[in-house]
Amino acid sequence: MKPIENGGPWLGPLGRDADVVVASRVRLARNLAGFPFTNRASTTQRREVVSMVRDRAQASAWGRMLGWVDMQACPPEQRTQMVERHLVSKQFAASDAPRAVGISADETLSVMVNEEDHLRIQAMYSGLRIDECFAAATAFDRGAESALDFAWHHRWGYLTACPTNVGCGIRVSVMLHLPALRLTSELDRVRRAAKDLHLALRGFHGEGSEPMGDFYQLSNQITLGIRDEEVVGELRDRIIPQVIRYERLARETYRSKAPAAARDRFIRAAALLTHSRLMPLDEAMKLLGRLRLGIASGLTEAIDSTLVHRLLLQVQPAHLGLARPDDPMETLEQQSAARATLLRDALAPLRASIG
């Protein structure tokens, strides 16, 4: 796995609406006709699926950009790094069955083979760039279907193991930073509205994860009876702009009602991040979230959000290990100490600016 400076699909340019949007992702679920789905496939069949997809991708223009990682041969800490970078799912990293992931050099495209479905094609970009994600995922999908026979049904469309993905198999997710909506207790309303619109609001790492540092993923739930481009258009033109507007409004309200408190929150977060000797993961995420809000509100120009995004990744346990290969970090305290050192070093310009 490469050092984080060169990778991480959501560490690119911030783009528009970066005050609220962190990253966008489009995922397509596909299965190969003629094989049982992953949950019913034998070890031999799973191996066949891996080699069929990998070999055909490597032999064609549409798939040559992927470098392949055999998950069974991959050491645990590297698997966790891939989860932390959102390149593979937690379940995929934890399984012991034959499976592989193809990752493009810039890590914007990743293809999991033998996750819940035979193929999970995922494209991810920083900022609000759903269209680019959709184009990249679709380009791979169209290339792949010229060489692979995808499971298809005249009524249900693309077949997937779980009924929630049947149809066009698309999941569009946008990672959002919503601190003000939570502070003003409006988040539950957003959650209810999302549910009514068949959208899911989830935590930092998607399905089954806790929100950390006020980062959330908003994604579509319906994949049947709607065209993939309609799912994309709906989120891009209607839903996400509205959530962005609500969050900005909540930030404005909070700032105008309690300007001293808003500033104090930022200064406290900055002080803790730049002086602490021990920093647990959840606290680091929370404080980095506050820093990000402060930057978006113009409270500092010493650092920008790109640095915060990079740190959000670097403070994760497996990435901490990657940055300090000679430090065994056997206990949580040692990990906390290493995290605190990393943050103090990286945020030195901020320390100087807050005095």
> Quick one: 16 or 227, whose CB is closer to other proteins?
227
158 binds other proteins (CB under 8 A): yes
Check binding of 31 to other proteins (CB under 8 A).
yes
Structure tokens at 82: 């891939």
Q: Considering the complex, what minimum distance in angstroms separates the CB of residue 152 from other proteins?
A: 6
* Stretch binding other proteins (CB under 8 A), from 86-94, 106-114, 227-235, 269-277: 227-235
Question: Does 76 participate in binding other proteins (rule CB under 8 A)?
Answer: no
C-alpha distance from residue 228 to each of 98, 162, 289 (Å): 30, 18, 32
Q: Which stretch binds other proteins (CB under 8 A): 62-70, 78-86, 93-101, 162-170?
A: 162-170
Judged by CB under 8 A, the chain residues 10 through 29 that form the site for other proteins are none
Q: Coil, helix or strand for 62? A: coil
Residue 78 binds to other proteins (criterion: CB under 8 A): no
> Which burial class, exposed, middle or buried, applies to 298 when counting CB atoms under 10 A from its CB (0-12, 13-18, 19+)?
exposed
The nearer residue to other proteins, 137 or 342, going by C-beta atoms, is 137
Interface with other proteins by CB under 8 A: which range of 34-42, 80-88, 264-272, 296-304?
Answer: 34-42
Q: If you count DSSP H runs as helices and E runs as strands, how many of each does the chain have, helices first? A: 14, 10
Nearer Cβ to other proteins, position 226 or 281? 226
65 part of the interface to other proteins, by CB under 8 A = no
Closer to other proteins by Cβ: residue 86 or 171:
171
Q: Which of 44, 146, 185, 331 binds other proteins (CB under 8 A)?
A: 146
DSSP 8-state secondary structure symbol assigned to residue 95: -
What tokens were used for 165? Answer: 């993905």
By CB neighbour count within 10 A (0-12 exposed, 13-18 middle, 19+ buried), where does 325 fall? Answer: exposed
Q: Among 93, 22, 82, which residue's Cα sits nearest to residue 285?
A: 22
Distances, alpha carbon 246 to alpha carbons 178, 212, 249, in Å: 9, 20, 5
User: With binding defined as CB under 8 A, does residue 36 bind other proteins?
Assistant: yes
Strand 21-30 vs strand 170-177: parallel, antiparallel, or unpaired? antiparallel
* Subset of 230-289 contacting other proteins (CB under 8 A): 230
Stretch that binds other proteins, among 226-234, 264-272, 300-308, 323-331 (CB under 8 A): 226-234
Question: In terms of CB distance, is 23 or 32 closer to other proteins?
Answer: 32
Burial letters for 97-118: b for 16+ Cβ neighbours within 10 Å, e otherwise? bbbbbbbbeebbbbbbbbbbbb
Window contacting other proteins (CB under 8 A); options: 78-86, 160-168, 235-243, 296-304: 160-168
What's at 30, amino acid-wise?
R
Which residues sit at the interface with other proteins, rule CB under 8 A? 31, 33, 35-37, 39-40, 116, 142, 145-146, 149-164, 166-168, 198, 221-230
